[in-house]
Amino acid sequence: MMKTALDQYSDIIAKTEFFYFGVDDREAMRETVKRIEHYERELLEIPAGVEDAVRDAEMVMVHLCPVTKKLLSCAPKLKYILCNRGGVENIDIDEANRRGIMLLHNPAHNSNAVAEFVIGLMFAEMRNIVRANDAVRRGVWREKFPNSGHIIELKDLTVGIIGFGNVGELVCEKLQGFGCRILVCDVYQRQRENPRIDWNRVSFVDFDRLIRESDIITLHARSSKQIVGAREFAMMKRSAYFINTSRSCMVDYHALAEALKKEEIGGAAIDVFDVEPLEKSHPFLALDNITLTNHRAGDTLNSYSDSPGAMLRELAAYRKDGTAPKFWYNRS
């Protein structure tokens, strides 16, 4: 995918060399990702030959491959690092800054994939799609579900979006076609520039109002703090649905399990967990009003294949006329 993108810029890129980091095994690479996210990049082995290859390089493009202080010391001519993912834990940012190396990353690389998945989770949980599928496969023609008698359509519902970054805005955009009213709570004051959104149907509100008034609440903030717990679940409508495809640490899952068990909210759909794979003893597994997926939201071919080209377009525009890249990580 990187080669395909780089080939389109063969007129300005004189020479390229390619290396494969890691192993062709998803389970093994999941452990590698965990080590990278725990800042163990210096302990990971990079492909043989990379240190020699970067000696004359002006640009390095990676996905997960560590760009360590040692590797950077082998690249005296390096000007740009392009990281095709949102996280930059695999990059020694301090050393890149010290060297004046420009770092681009791509937190939007799987934004559309996640946004589409969120819409899918809304339908799956509200319309009992997964539960019906499981029942049919077991030979059961199931007619009664936890929300029977209260099954509603997405149109005209109020959807609360917590966090209005790349994913949150795309979720808002996609919900426009369903006629939803949108409530947004975001710590940043973002300009309303997206022409595909009817801003008359969007209200920026405080956190508590969003929790109280929303029929569906979807979490898209980026924080290491817990922001949704027992207090928030108690404030929600008894018919409300809660969705999390963001980070598990932001939600008290014990409180969510209790709220679902007592039917204090209508249902939930969860894609991320504190421990993955999910423990067999997890209380979610005993509940019938929750849809569970195994961290699938951003996993599409497009999210990987489109990123290198997007990064190179931004870099080319910057080199041509100084247009600031959208995701220039270490911009002063």
Tokens encoding 275: 């421990």
Q: Please, which pLDDT band fits residue 30 given cuts at 50, 70 and 90?
A: confident
Where do the structural domains in the chain lie, given as residue ranges? 2-109+300-321, 111-292
Instruction: Verify whether residue 276 is a known catalytic residue.
Output: yes
Judge whether 2-109+300-321 and 111-292 match in fold.
Answer: yes
Tokens encoding 50: 């990379």
pLDDT tens digits for range 211-264: 999 999 999 998 889 999 999 999 999 999 999 999 999 999 999 999 999 999
Contact (CB, 8 A) for 298 and 113: yes
Q: Enumerate residues 6+ apart whose C-beta is below 8 A from 131.
A: 142, 145, 288
Q: Enumerate residues 6+ apart whose C-beta is below 8 A from 39.
A: 89
- Residue 190: the pLDDT is 67
Q: Using CB atoms within 10 A of its CB, is residue 65 exposed (0-12), middle (13-18) or buried (19+)? A: buried
The arithmetic mean of pLDDT across residues 157-161, rounded, is 98
**Sheet containing strand 216-219, strands side by side:** 202-204, 181-185, 158-162, 216-219, 241-244, 267-270, 290-292
CB-CB neighbours of 266 under 10 Å:
23
Q: Please, which pLDDT band fits residue 303 given cuts at 50, 70 and 90?
A: very high
The arithmetic mean of pLDDT across residues 20-39, rounded, is 87
- Please identify which of the residues 37, 42, 276, 279 carries the catalytic annotation: 276
- Please identify which of the residues 35, 295, 296, 313 carries the catalytic annotation: 295
Q: Please, which pLDDT band fits residue 281 given cuts at 50, 70 and 90?
A: very high
- Please identify which of the residues 41, 109, 220, 247 carries the catalytic annotation: 247
Class of domain 2-109+300-321: alpha beta
Q: Enumerate residues 6+ apart whose C-beta is below 8 A from 30.
A: none
> Is the pLDDT reported for residue 39 higher than 80?
yes
Q: Per CATH, is 111-292 categorized as 1.20.1440.130?
A: no
Instruction: Verify whether residue 37 is a known catalytic residue.
Output: no
Q: Enumerate residues 6+ apart whose C-beta is below 8 A from 178.
A: 154, 155, 157
- Residue 69: the pLDDT is 96
The arithmetic mean of pLDDT across residues 104-133, rounded, is 97
Q: Please, which pLDDT band fits residue 187 given cuts at 50, 70 and 90?
A: confident
Q: Please, which pLDDT band fits residue 48 given cuts at 50, 70 and 90?
A: very high
- Residue 189: the pLDDT is 66
> Is the pLDDT reported for residue 332 higher than 70?
no
Q: Please, which pLDDT band fits residue 331 given cuts at 50, 70 and 90?
A: confident
> Is the pLDDT reported for residue 31 higher than 90?
no
Instruction: Verify whether residue 247 is a known catalytic residue.
Output: yes
